[in-house]
């Protein structure tokens, strides 16, 4: 087993008076720079503009952002403290709508505050910092387990296609879809990775190819419209993506373009896997139609490459995510095992086990 060079996306530095340090992903792959956030608004802006992105990483950022938001709150007035806590959580919750991990992490932080409500406020603040750090550390362990549970799905010598970035950068560490690849490589398996460029913001070419390259895994980048041809040429044996939210019936919201890939995979009889932690499931939603889909600024399409690429007179539509119906999935790989042919019943059984 070899150990790969995998970056830490987000960390809390120091004590309660410290800061949140994150890799500014908008600068990659040309610049590797950390951004230190010392206040909630800076952290929230980092989520909104995708300096930190990817469902589990947004969850960790939300939890740590809440600590930034309450650490200067009143130490003597519980009502005032609670007011600030909820205002901070609401403010962070309004940053991005699709990845459920953000809301999951904020709920967990609020529960932590509630169960410590009898303590002096300074102790509640310390408990919240410990909880945010625990969310980060658990996510790192969860990602490792996802990799271990799924790496055998990658065939020796095969071609693996992925979309967007569901790697270390998108989580606390190690990733979800990419965790399978890291684990497979750590166990000595050889395979070729194909990364969709992932327009409009190029998470595939800028981030996935960058982090796999750092880990010594050679990556072939393709434009999003090339996948069908590669499949037809027999170069793709398996497709693996992450998820931003999974409904109770197994429908999966993930980066725009994922649905198209799933349809293409089905047409070419190629297995299509989603790798995600339990915190990405939203069992309150019966199906994927209920998942809120973020639409982003038309500027991200119109000026996608730092120059004008369409006339201002054109209209734009920019959904950041799409929903793949559960029927297109071969399986969902989680930290607690693999859910084959996911559907409402299988997911219910998985969560009640
Ligand atoms: O808009 P982004 O970059 O936050 O979208 C990220 C994705 O769609 C990822 O595939 C998903 O969050 C899974 S990350 C392990």
Mind listing the pLDDT tens digit for each residue in 76-95? 999 999 999 999 999 999 99
pLDDT at 6: 73
pLDDT at 5: 74
Q: The dihedral of CA 35, 41, 43, 49: what is its sign?
A: negative
Decide if pLDDT at 34 tops 60.
Answer: yes
Residues 2-32 as b/e (b if ≥16 CB within 10 A, e otherwise) read eebebebbbbbeeeeebbbbbbbbbebeeee
Decide if pLDDT at 21 tops 70.
Answer: yes
Average pLDDT, the chain: 97
CB of 55 closer than 6 A to ligand 1?
A: yes
CB of 245 closer than 6 A to ligand 1?
A: no
Sheet with strand 34-37: strands edge to edge: 10-13, 19-23, 34-37
pLDDT confidence band for 2 (50 / 70 / 90):
low
177 vs 273: CA distance, rounded Å: 8
pLDDT confidence band for 332 (50 / 70 / 90):
very high
Distance 56 CA to ligand 1 centre (A): 8
Instruction: Evaluate if pTM is beyond 0.95.
Output: yes
pLDDT at 312: 87
CB 276 within 8 A of CB 176: yes
CB of 167 closer than 6 A to ligand 1?
A: no
Distance 154 CA to ligand 1 centre (A): 21
Angle 213-216-218 from CA coordinates, rounded to 5°: 60
Tell me the catalytic residues: 244
The average pLDDT across 53-70 equals 98
Decide if pLDDT at 4 tops 80.
Answer: no
């Amino acid at each position: 087993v070899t150990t790969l060079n995998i970056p830490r996306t987000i960390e809390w530095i120091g004590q309660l008076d410290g800061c949140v340090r994150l890799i500014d992903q908008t600068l990659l792959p040309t610049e590797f720079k950390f951004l230190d956030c010392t206040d909630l608004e800076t952290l929230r802006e980092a989520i909104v503009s995708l300096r930190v992105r990817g469902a589990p990483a947004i969850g960790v950022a939300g939890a740590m952002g809440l600590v930034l938001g309450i650490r200067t709150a009143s130490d003597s007035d519980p009502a005032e403290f609670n007011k600030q806590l909820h205002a901070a959580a609401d403010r962070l919750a309004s940053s991005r709508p699709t990845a459920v991990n953000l809301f999951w992490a904020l709920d967990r932080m609020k529960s932590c505050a509630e169960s410590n409500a009898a303590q002096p406020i300074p102790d509640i603040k310390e408990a919240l910092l410990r909880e945010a750090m625990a969310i980060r550390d658990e996510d790192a362990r969860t990602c490792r387990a996802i990799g271990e549970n799924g790496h055998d799905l990658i065939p020796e010598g095969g071609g693996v296609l992925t979309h967007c970035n569901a790697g270390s950068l998108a989580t606390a560490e190690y990733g979800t879809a990419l965790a399978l690849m890291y684990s497979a490589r750590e166990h000595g398996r050889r395979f070729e990775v194909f990364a969709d460029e992932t327009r409009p913001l190029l998470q595939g070419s800028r981030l996935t190819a960058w982090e796999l390259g750092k880990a010594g895994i050679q990556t072939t980048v393709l434009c999003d419209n090339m996948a069908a041809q590669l499949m037809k040429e027999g170069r793709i044996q398996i497709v693996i993506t992450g998820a931003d939210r999974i409904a109770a019936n197994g429908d999966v919201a993930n980066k725009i373009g994922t649905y198209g890939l799933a349809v293409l995979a089905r047409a070419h009889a190629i297995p299509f896997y989603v790798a995600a932690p339990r915190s990405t499931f939203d069992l309150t939603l019966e199906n994927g139609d209920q998942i809120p889909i973020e639409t982003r600024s038309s500027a991200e399409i119109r000026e996608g490459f730092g120059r004008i690429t369409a006339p201002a007179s054109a209209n734009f539509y920019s959904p950041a995510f799409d929903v793949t119906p559960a029927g297109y999935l071969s399986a969902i790989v989680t930290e607690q095992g693999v859910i084959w042919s996911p559907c409402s019943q299988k997911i219910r059984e998985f969560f009640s086990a």
